[in-house]
Amino acid sequence: MAGFAGRLARCWYSGFLRSPLQVPALGLHVGGPAMQTSQKDFNNAVSQLKLLKEDPGNEVKLKLYALYKQATEGPCNVPKPGMLDFINKTKWDAWNALGSLSKEAARQNYVDLVSKLSASSESPSPEAPAADRKQPESDSLVVTSGDGITTIRLNRPTKKNALTTQMYHDIIAALQAASKDESPITVLTGSGDYFCSGNDLTNFTSLPAGGPEEMARSSAVLLRDFVNCFIDFPKPLVAVVNGPAVGISVTILGLFDVVYATDRATFHTPFSHLGQSPEGCSSYTFPKIMGSSKAAEMLLFGKKLTAQEACAQGLVTEVFPDSTFQKEVWARLKAYSKLPPNAMRISKQIIRDREKEKLHAVNAEESNVLRERWLSDECMNAIASFLSRKSKL
Ligand SMILES: CCCCC/C=C/CC(=O)SCCNC(=O)CCNC(=O)[C@H](O)C(C)(C)COP(=O)(O)OP(=O)(O)OC[C@H]1O[C@@H](n2cnc3c(N)ncnc32)[C@H](O)[C@@H]1OP(=O)(O)O
């Protein structure tokens, strides 16, 4: 596993699962033959967990961690970690949530859960392998070219295509390469049922040596560079919105030339809910596209738009029935890609260039404001709440 995804997995495995995987002698107190069997089952389950072929996901790992602690140490009685210590706080919350569950019951639940996971990891995966693995940096982004179209596909469907730090870097590289390649048209789309669930909220959990301030500073720089690539992209840029879109995957749409959406798509910018503020130049493009009060409803109050509403407000170019979405959209794009490429570039230049300077200034300002927001209690509480599974959009 490369890049951020790898770091995150290592972090979870080393932080959350080190004890269950690496403590061979559990030292459990057992009361009789029935309990002996239970302890043996528990020890077996601890070993069995190491053999899982598939990562069970953070939520399950958190559950396993909590059950393990409850089974071996009893109810949580250690002090709650500080608010900025996201990972340990999340672990503490999960353990604490088990309340006074007995060690025996926790052991049994742990054994049941591991046996369920083992059974499902042995059955064949219904998903076909990703078709294209050309992109060397990370499997979470797939870039392909054909029929005059370069397609940049967000490929993290199990996480609703949430954008990891590595993915921001990879998208920047992909856009830079696409701006110089042979394809007249460039497309951004997603794999699976979501277009993208926005910034991966776990990006904020790997604190660098400089602490939260350094994390906020480097994230603001990366955000600014990322959005600049969309502002400066010289060719027709099309979003093929294959499902719901959240956060930054919605705001950048104002920088695309054309946005096609399935009727399943929704458009959601829950910045206030997250203690954050608009980015992707949306504080400027959205009021221009839809008028200031409709923009305010989305950007201040987080109103979620259906595809039809987004189309009526000018954010989406056209909506297609989900059943024919892929067929109709790609057929149309293939036809457009045969148009003279230089004419399309020059027309885009005329349409967009007089706004570029303004957009760069807006982008810089939004990134600076967000740098402060990320350090606010409102934002930290919202992220901690999502990570501890207390909230979802
Ligand atoms: C360089 C830094 C730049 C920063 C720029 C800032 C941008 C701002 C934004 O983008 S704000 C938007 C942030 N996004 C969210 O708040 C979305 C959070 N996710 C959810 O609320 C839900 O997951 C959902 C509504 C998108 C989907 O819900 P559903 O019930 O259908 O699916 P799950 O919740 O079970 O999701 C499956 C797994 O995917 C993980 N996941 C989904 N989105 C994110 C995300 N944004 N960040 C981190 N993880 C995400 C989810 O946790 C599940 O993981 P699991 O299987 O391990 O449990």
Please state the separation of Cα 384 from the chain's center in Å: 15
CA atoms within 13 A on the CB side of 229: 19
Our answer on whether the CB atom of 369 is closer than 6 Å to any ligand 1 atom is no
Site to probe by mutation for ligand 1, drawn from 11, 195, 197, 392 as the one with most ligand atoms within 8 Å of Cβ, is 197
> How many residues are present in the chain?
393
For residue range 172-187, list pLDDT tens digits in order: 999 999 999 999 999 9
The 8-class DSSP code of residue 254 comes to G
DSSP string, 186-238: EEEEESSS-SB--B-GGGGGS--TTHHHHHHHHHHHHHHHHHHHHHH--S-EE
Nearest to 216 by CA among 97, 50, 106, 369: 369
Give the torsion through C-alpha atoms of 70, 73, 76, 81, to 10 deg.
-110
Which tokens in the block code for residue 368?
Answer: 């600076």
CA of residue 370 to ligand 1 center, whole Å: 19
State the Rg of the chain over Cα: 24
Can you count the helices (H) and strands (E) in the chain?
15, 9
Beta bridge partner(s), residue 261: 241, 319
Given the CA of residue 159, which atom of ligand 1 is nearest to it? 39
Q: Cα(342)–Cα(284) distance, rounded to whole angstroms? A: 28
Residue 332 in tokens: 């149309």
For the Cβ of 223 lying below 6 angstroms from any atom of ligand 1, the answer is: yes
Ligand 1 binding pocket includes 366 (Cβ within 6 Å): no
Q: Which residue has the CA at smallest separation from atom 51 of ligand 1?
A: 159
Nearest CA to ligand 1 atom 46: 200
- The crossing angle, in degrees rounded to 10, of helices 33-50 and 103-122 is 40
Instruction: Enumerate the β-bridge partners of residue 258.
Output: 238
Cβ of 159 less than 6 Å from ligand 1: yes
- Pocket of ligand 1 contains residue 57 by CB under 6 Å: yes
**pTM for the structure as a whole:** 0.72
Q: Does any ligand 1 atom lie closer than 6 A to the CB of residue 319?
A: no
In 228-359, beta strands by DSSP E: 237-241, 245-246, 258-262, 266-268, 305-306, 318-320
According to DSSP, the residues that pair with 199 across neighbouring strands are 163
Task: List strands edge to edge, sheet with 305-306.
Answer: 245-246, 266-268, 305-306
**Phi, psi of 107, rounded to the nearest 5 degrees:** -60, -45
DSSP summary character for residue 158: G
Distance from the alpha carbon of residue 274 to the mean position of ligand 1, in angstroms: 12
User: Ligand 1, atom 12: nearest CA belongs to which residue?
Assistant: 247
For residue 153, what are the β-bridge partners? 142, 189
Per-residue pLDDT of the chain (393 residues), as tens digits, is: 333 233 333 333 233 333 333 322 222 333 334 455 578 888 888 888 877 766 676 677 878 999 999 999 999 999 998 877 777 888 888 899 899 889 988 898 888 888 878 776 654 433 333 334 344 367 999 999 999 999 999 999 999 999 999 999 999 999 999 999 999 999 999 999 999 999 999 998 888 989 999 999 999 999 999 999 999 999 999 999 999 999 999 999 999 999 999 999 999 999 999 999 999 999 999 999 999 999 999 999 999 999 999 999 999 999 999 999 999 999 999 999 999 999 999 999 999 999 999 999 999 999 999 999 999 999 999 999 988 876 667
Measured over the CA atoms of residue 348, residue 354, residue 359 and residue 361, the dihedral's sign is: positive
DSSP per-residue codes, 67-136: HHHHHHH-S--SPPPPTT-HHHHHHHHHHHTTTT--HHHHHHHHHHHHHHHHHHHHSPPSSPPPS----S
Q: 162 CA to middle of ligand 1, Å?
A: 6
Instruction: Write out pLDDT tens, residues 141-160.
Output: 999 999 999 999 999 999 99
